[in-house]
């Protein structure tokens, strides 16, 4: 069995969760001994499409004609497109029907969580949906003094300085304005927001909020190397104010780094993350500040330990086996019909 992993416009999406999913899928399939290719010109038995752009659509149509089974990955939902890019309402006139076309024409859909499966099932596409985590490689986030040092040097962090981190595109869905408001209420703490979005895609209200952000917020843009891994290890917590996710890879990264996680209490986390068991959850900014004060003044070792157990359930080795099983099931069903 050979699988095509297809990502269109890879360079443009590499800084997003979908971009990181490519690296994860490659590692997962390699660990499970599944043969794969990244080129649609190669020979393969099954295609796993991760993007919804025009070339992806052409490819899906071509594969249908050739009777090659196609999995479409449910990275996106109508729910998580809301309140994202500038002019998202206008873009949704194209995005939503386009997404539905892919989901309806797929032979199978894989999505990261039980929550995103429920969202996609509700679209009534007639396509079977299963959930498999995007996964995490715990070794990548293991304790490393050099990475912590790199982080502290890059941001000139002084001894004993308290730092809280956020990660994501700077747009409303990610809760960036809430992040600023929480930071404004705790001026003695340094807040760092990692993430970049082209200015043309940033909404005017977010641009204004960034212009007037509090002095204790640093915005270094996109960083994906030793520095951010050192940040996960050094920071008091990951403050993830996002209003909607299909999984939130950064949450897994923080858990794998033994970094306490303070997240918004939203549907995607209801099935696997529990407040004060393996994370902290808040419903509004007042609760975020309250929970932040609590986690910074209490022992979090139990919560961190429970978070690491969740990571063990979502290692790339386990994801690889789950993908392999999903591919085989689809192939068997497909071959029995053709």
DSSP 79-116: HHHTT-STTHHHHHHHHHHHHHHHHHH-SEEEESSHHH
Contact 316, 31 (CB under 8 A): yes
- d(CA 316, CA 6) in angstroms, rounded, equals 18
Contact 48, 3 (CB under 8 A): yes
Q: What is the pLDDT of residue 91?
A: 78
Which phi and psi (to 5°) does residue 271 adopt? Answer: -85, -15
Q: What is the pLDDT of residue 84?
A: 75
Helices (H) and strands (E) in the chain, counts: 14, 12
Q: What is the pLDDT of residue 96?
A: 86
Among 80, 60, 61, smallest CA distance to 71 is for: 60
Q: What is the pLDDT along the chain (338 residues), one digit of tens a residue?
A: 999 999 987 666 555 667 778 889 999 999 999 999 999 999 999 999 999 999 999 999 999 999 999 999 999 898 877 777 777 778 778 888 899 999 999 999 999 999 999 999 999 999 999 999 999 999 999 999 999 999 999 999 999 999 999 999 999 999 999 999 999 999 999 999 999 999 999 999 999 999 999 999 999 999 988 999 999 999 999 999 999 999 999 999 999 999 999 999 999 999 999 999 999 999 999 999 999 999 999 999 999 999 999 999 999 999 999 999 999 999 998 888 76
pTM equals 0.93
Render 234-296 in DSSP notation, one character per residue.
Answer: HSSEEEE--S--SS-HHHHHHHHTT--EEEE--GGGTTT--BTTTBEEESSHHHHHHHHHHHH
Render 133-185 in DSSP notation, one character per residue.
Answer: ---B-GGGGS--HHHHHHHHHHHTPPTT--EEEEES-SSGGGTHHHHHHHHHH
């Amino acid at each position: 069995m050979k699988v095509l992993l297809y990502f269109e416009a890879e360079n443009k999406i590499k800084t997003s969760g979908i971009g990181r999913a490519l690296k994860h899928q490659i590692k997962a399939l390699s660990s499970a001994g599944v043969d794969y290719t990244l080129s649609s010109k190669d020979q393969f038995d099954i295609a796993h499409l991760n993007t919804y752009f025009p070339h992806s659509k052409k490819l899906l149509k071509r594969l249908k004609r050739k009777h090659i089974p196609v999995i479409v990955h449910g990275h996106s939902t109508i729910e998580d497109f809301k309140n994202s890019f500038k002019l998202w309402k206008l873009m949704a006139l194209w995005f939503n029907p386009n997404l539905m076309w892919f989901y309806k024409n797929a032979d199978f859909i894989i999505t990261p969580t039980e929550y995103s499966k429920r969202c996609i099932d509700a679209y009534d596409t007639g396509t079977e949906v299963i959930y498999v985590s995007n996964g995490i490689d715990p070794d990548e986030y293991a304790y490393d003094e050099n990475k912590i040092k790199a982080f502290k040097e890059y941001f000139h962090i002084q001894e004993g300085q308290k730092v809280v981190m956020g990660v994501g595109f700077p747009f409303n869905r990610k809760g960036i304005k809430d992040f600023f408001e929480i930071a404004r209420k705790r001026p003695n703490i340094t807040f760092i927001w990692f993430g970049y979005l082209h200015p043309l895609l940033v909404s005017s209200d977010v641009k204004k909020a960034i212009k007037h952000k509090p002095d204790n917020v640093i915005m270094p843009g996109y960083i994906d190397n030793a520095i951010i891994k050192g940040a996960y290890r050094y920071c008091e917590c990951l403050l993830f104010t996002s209003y909607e996710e299909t999984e939130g890879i950064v949450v897994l990264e923080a858990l794998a780094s033994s970094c306490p996680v303070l997240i918004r209490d939203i549907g995607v986390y209801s099935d696997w993350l529990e407040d004060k068991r393996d994370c902290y959850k808040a419903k509004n900014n007042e609760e975020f500040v309250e929970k932040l004060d609590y986690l910074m003044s209490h022992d979090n070792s139990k919560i961190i330990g429970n978070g690491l157990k969740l990571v063990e359930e979502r290692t790339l080795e386990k994801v690889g086996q789950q993908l392999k099983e999903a591919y085989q099931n689809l192939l068997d069903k497909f071959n029995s019909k053709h």
